[in-house]
Chain A
Amino acid sequence: MKKNLLISIKLTAVFIILLAVIYPLFIAAVGKATPGGGNGEKLSVNGKVAGYANVGQKFTDDKYFRGRPSNVDYNAAGSGGSNKGPSNPDYLKTVQERIDSFLVHNPGITKSAIPVELVTASGSGLDPDISPAAASIQVKRIAAARNLSADQLHTLVANHTQKPLLGLLGPSKINVLKLNIALDKLK
């Protein structure tokens, strides 16, 4: 027993050094070579940081493409989903309110054309992406708010659509922050 305990203590100490000190420091050293130097890739506009490439942001202004509803209000000091079950009546009421609000902000759009991700919260509350359909449906509103042509915006959306991995794995998506940065540059 005593011998086992002594071995346990020493072995634990050795592995703490190997696994909790050397291993993460090694990964951090390699990580310095990655975009963002291991502390998250940032996007800048005119030399000023506009956000993290992979972390979604809150867009409430009608001039911008909106992302998904967020349970943490896009504050990445925390993260999480609504954890509402599919049959929860309060939850369904919230979704109904989001649909109504979307229709108010996007006149001329019919309810049946709204992609579900625009009225349901993501798992992390920080989802950076929407589907191409969810971007296209907002074009009309943004064109009106910015005095741009719809065609111009549809091209923008098409150019920012990220195809599935290798063309055959997973869904297509659009990074909302990147799309909006490009949108600001349109004249």
Chain B
Amino acid sequence: MNTELTGVVITFLLTILLAYSLGKYVAKVFGGQKTVTDFMNPLEKLIFRISGIDATKNMDWKQFLKSMLTINMLWLVYAFFMLLFQNKLPLNPDGNPAQTPDLAFNTAISFVVNCNLQHYSGESGMTYLTQLFVVTFLQFVSAATGIAAVIGVFNAWKEKTTNNFGNFWVIFTKSITRLLLPLSIVVAILLAFNGVPSGYQGKDTITTLQGDTMQVSRGPAAGMVAIKHLGTNGGGWFGANSAHPLENPNYFTNMVEITAQVIIPVALIFALGFYTKRKKLANVIFGVMTAGILCLLVPAVIAELSGNPAIEKLGVMQPTGAMEGKEVRFGPAASAYWSIITTVISTGSVNSMHDSSMPVSGLMQLLGMMINSFYGGCGVGILNYFIYIIIAVFIGGLMVGRTPEFMGHKVEAREVKIAAVVTLLSAFLIKGFTALAAFMVANHPETAWAVQPGAWLNNPSYHGFSEMLYEYTSANANNGSGFEGLGDNNIFWNVTTGFVLLLARFLPIIGPIAIAGLLANKKFIPESPGTLRTDSLTFGVMTFGVIIIINALSFFPALTLGPIAEFFSLK
């Protein structure tokens, strides 16, 4: 095996190993058992006292949601105004301008919802103040929101019949003090010692060896790069994200960053097993998700290692594979691995430009975001998977002719309706808005926006269509990566993706919490021989089938117009 492939395999195995131990730790933290981080206790008590939080108060699912939504709305307003006035605020050594209202609208939403779609370049579109007080701050708290949501659901699953989701404020705070902050400090220090800048000095101007003048953007990036991955956020300090040599300087930092972004989502799956005492269910879920990832990963790695057939024809050699948009220090294998992990996990950071990926990899990236639950983002991955489980239970129930059940509770019309709405929402948002964008390109190319629709696409034909499809898929998955050739900093894209982001973040959190809340309230029915067991391999395979069928039905036609057509036209 060559060293590029061993790099990928070792990274993956290391991740699973670390995530398993972390999962145990997470279960202990939220189960109130002793852990190594108990020295945080006084700090947490102080935070609760200052904020007026009664840590002993339990919440039902409605109170839990209200608290979560209130604080999220507050962040939205705060972030919007900070970005709008960043040019007048301190910590702006490079003298960068304010964001336009539509861009600030998009950016604020994007970071609140853990997406990090960036319609600006960090070097020129942000100040150090907003990078820290808006971006870094929101990267912590949006991830903590997702983790709190799933821990709330775990609390509902833990008991036979209960109203209790736990206290949102407490779970949220502990997600930061016990999980995100300590891990970020470790990762940030590893990155800083490998060359990611952490100081506050502004842009530098130097004379190169050859005698040209060049500028170098810098800034306190190390801390943000750490949480951008641990919190599955993905928004980069620099425009080129983790392809930038100061954001991701070598193969070691690449391994650290790619591991950091998967570790919490995977740990939460194992935590589900330890916390709710359903290890078998957790293992089945982990198995299905891992199988799903391999189905996306293997073709992408092969496609990138094989190189671009159109370049092959020009007669140069592609000893390692396709290199457009990739960095030499990572190589095509690690770039393909990253591109799949970042899309299934909803991180959306990149270490190569996805727009220049081979069509097969582009297809796999899109599928990863459409499915959005093979591991998935911090907390929300499991919630998305939960929706697929409800649908699978429903279909399974119909097949065996019994009322469907999940964890000893009857799944009835109301729950299935919620699950159906959440599932259909993705297809509606992605296809509806892509169609609208394509309509503008085809019929109103001269509309007087900052970037005219005729100039939106950086590539012609099928690939141009993929750029639009990718943008909405990414927004809907709260992913944040892009086919970045798209001219997206204008009012059309800023506003439409802004709305997609909001809907696609909060409905898929509200939906599963509501279902879990409704189910937990119902009478517990002990298992009988006729029960459809949800922790069996058979049910795992069935869920996998449901995921494939729903997504194939929803997206196959759209994918045919984009990457699939490009694949067959590329000889």
Q: Are B137 and A7 in contact (CB under 8 A)?
A: no
A55-104 residues at the B interface, CB under 8 angstroms: 55-61, 64, 68, 74-89, 91-92, 95-96, 99
B132-154 residues at the A interface, CB under 8 angstroms: 132-133, 136-137, 140-141
Do A20 and B327 form a contact, CB below 8 Å, given A79-B239, A116-B316?
no
The answer, among A32, A52, A61, A173, for a CB contact under 8 Å with B329, is A173
Residue of B nearest to A15 (CB): B141
Q: Are A39 and B199 in contact (CB under 8 A)?
A: yes
Q: How far is the CA of A95 from the CA of B356 in the complex (A)?
A: 13
Q: Are A130 and B328 in contact (CB under 8 A)?
A: yes
Taking the closest CB of chain A, its distance from the CB of B514, in whole angstroms, is 18
Do A58 and B210 form a contact, CB below 8 Å, given A15-B137, A27-B185?
yes
Q: How far is the CA of A102 from the CA of B222 in the complex (A)?
A: 38
Taking the closest CB of chain A, its distance from the CB of B542, in whole angstroms, is 37
Q: Are B320 and A23 in contact (CB under 8 A)?
A: no
A132-181 residues at the B interface, CB under 8 angstroms: 133, 164-165, 167-173, 177, 180-181
Interface: A186 (CB within 8 A) = no
Please indicate the chain A residues that have their CB under 8 angstroms from the CB of B317 in the complex. Answer: 112-116
A16-42 residues at the B interface, CB under 8 angstroms: 16, 18-21, 23-24, 26-28, 30-32, 34-42
Q: Are B243 and A122 in contact (CB under 8 A)?
A: yes
Please indicate the chain B residues that have their CB under 8 angstroms from the CB of A84 in the complex. Answer: 324-325, 355-356, 458-459, 485
Q: How far is the CA of A184 from the CA of B355 in the complex (A)?
A: 38
Please indicate the chain A residues that have their CB under 8 angstroms from the CB of B185 in the complex. Answer: 23, 26-27
User: Interface readout for B301-345 with A: 1 if CB under 8 Å, 0 if not?
Assistant: 000000110110011111110111111111100100000000000
Q: How far is the CA of A20 from the CA of B197 in the complex (A)?
A: 16
- Among A11, A83, A86, A180, max chain B CB count under 10 A is at A86
Of B19-27, B248-256, B283-291, the one contacting chain A is B248-256
Please indicate the chain B residues that have their CB under 8 angstroms from the CB of A96 in the complex. Answer: 314
The answer, among A6, A14, A165, for a CB contact under 8 Å with B252, is A165
Q: Are A76 and B214 in contact (CB under 8 A)?
A: yes
Taking the closest CB of chain B, its distance from the CB of A116, in whole angstroms, is 5
Q: Are A116 and B307 in contact (CB under 8 A)?
A: yes
Please indicate the chain B residues that have their CB under 8 angstroms from the CB of A6 in the complex. Answer: 52
Q: How far is the CA of A177 from the CA of B462 in the complex (A)?
A: 39
Taking the closest CB of chain A, its distance from the CB of B225, in whole angstroms, is 10
Please indicate the chain B residues that have their CB under 8 angstroms from the CB of A19 in the complex. Answer: 136-137, 140-141, 176, 181
Please indicate the chain A residues that have their CB under 8 angstroms from the CB of B353 in the complex. Answer: 80-83, 123
Q: Are A79 and B121 in contact (CB under 8 A)?
A: yes
Residue of B nearest to A60 (CB): B210
Please indicate the chain B residues that have their CB under 8 angstroms from the CB of A111 in the complex. Answer: 315-316
The answer, among B53, B123, B220, B329, for a CB contact under 8 Å with A77, is B123
Residue of A nearest to B359 (CB): A86
Interface: B295 (CB within 8 A) = no
Q: How far is the CA of A24 from the CA of B462 in the complex (A)?
A: 43
Taking the closest CB of chain B, its distance from the CB of A132, in whole angstroms, is 10
Please indicate the chain B residues that have their CB under 8 angstroms from the CB of A83 in the complex. Answer: 325, 353, 355-356, 458-459, 483-485
Do A123 and B326 form a contact, CB below 8 Å, given A27-B222, A27-B223, A164-B3?
yes
Q: Are B10 and A169 in contact (CB under 8 A)?
A: yes
Do A112 and B316 form a contact, CB below 8 Å, given A123-B243, A125-B240?
yes
Q: Are A20 and B137 in contact (CB under 8 A)?
A: yes
Taking the closest CB of chain B, its distance from the CB of A128, in whole angstroms, is 5
The answer, among A14, A78, A115, A164, for a CB contact under 8 Å with B7, is A164
B448-465 residues at the A interface, CB under 8 angstroms: 458-463
B94-140 residues at the A interface, CB under 8 angstroms: 121, 123-124, 132-133, 136-137, 140
Q: Are A123 and B351 in contact (CB under 8 A)?
A: yes
Taking the closest CB of chain B, its distance from the CB of A85, in whole angstroms, is 4
Q: How far is the CA of A119 from the CA of B104 in the complex (A)?
A: 37
Taking the closest CB of chain B, its distance from the CB of A120, in whole angstroms, is 4
Do A95 and B314 form a contact, CB below 8 Å, given A54-B249, A75-B214?
yes
Interface: B216 (CB within 8 A) = yes
Q: How far is the CA of A10 from the CA of B193 in the complex (A)?
A: 35
Do A68 and B328 form a contact, CB below 8 Å, given A19-B140, A58-B212?
yes
The answer, among A10, A49, A126, for a CB contact under 8 Å with B245, is A126
Q: How far is the CA of A78 from the CA of B169 in the complex (A)?
A: 40
Please indicate the chain B residues that have their CB under 8 angstroms from the CB of A133 in the complex. Answer: 319
Please indicate the chain B residues that have their CB under 8 angstroms from the CB of A12 in the complex. Answer: 71, 74-75, 78, 141
Please indicate the chain A residues that have their CB under 8 angstroms from the CB of B536 in the complex. Answer: none
Please indicate the chain A residues that have their CB under 8 angstroms from the CB of B124 in the complex. Answer: 77-78
Of B201-209, B386-394, B428-436, the one contacting chain A is B201-209
Q: Are B314 and A121 in contact (CB under 8 A)?
A: no
Q: Are A99 and B315 in contact (CB under 8 A)?
A: yes
Please indicate the chain A residues that have their CB under 8 angstroms from the CB of B60 in the complex. Answer: none
- Among A114, A127, A177, max chain B CB count under 10 A is at A127
Taking the closest CB of chain B, its distance from the CB of A59, in whole angstroms, is 6
Q: Are B251 and A169 in contact (CB under 8 A)?
A: yes
Name 15 A/B residue pairs within 8 A (Cβ), A-sorted. A23-B185, A24-B223, A39-B199, A54-B195, A56-B245, A60-B210, A68-B328, A81-B325, A83-B459, A86-B463, A87-B569, A91-B459, A120-B311, A123-B327, A169-B255
Beyond A10-B51, A11-B71, A79-B123, 7 additional pairs, beta carbon < 8 A: A14-B51, A39-B218, A40-B218, A48-B207, A77-B123, A86-B357, A164-B3
The chain A residues found within 8 Å of chain B, CB to CB, are 1, 4-12, 14-16, 18-21, 23-24, 26-28, 30-32, 34-42, 45, 48-61, 64, 68, 74-89, 91-92, 95-96, 99, 111-117, 119-131, 133, 164-165, 167-173, 177, 180-181, 184
| 9 closest Cβ pairs, A-B complex | A31-B198, A83-B485, A123-B243, A85-B463, A38-B199, A79-B240, A81-B353, A170-B251, A83-B355
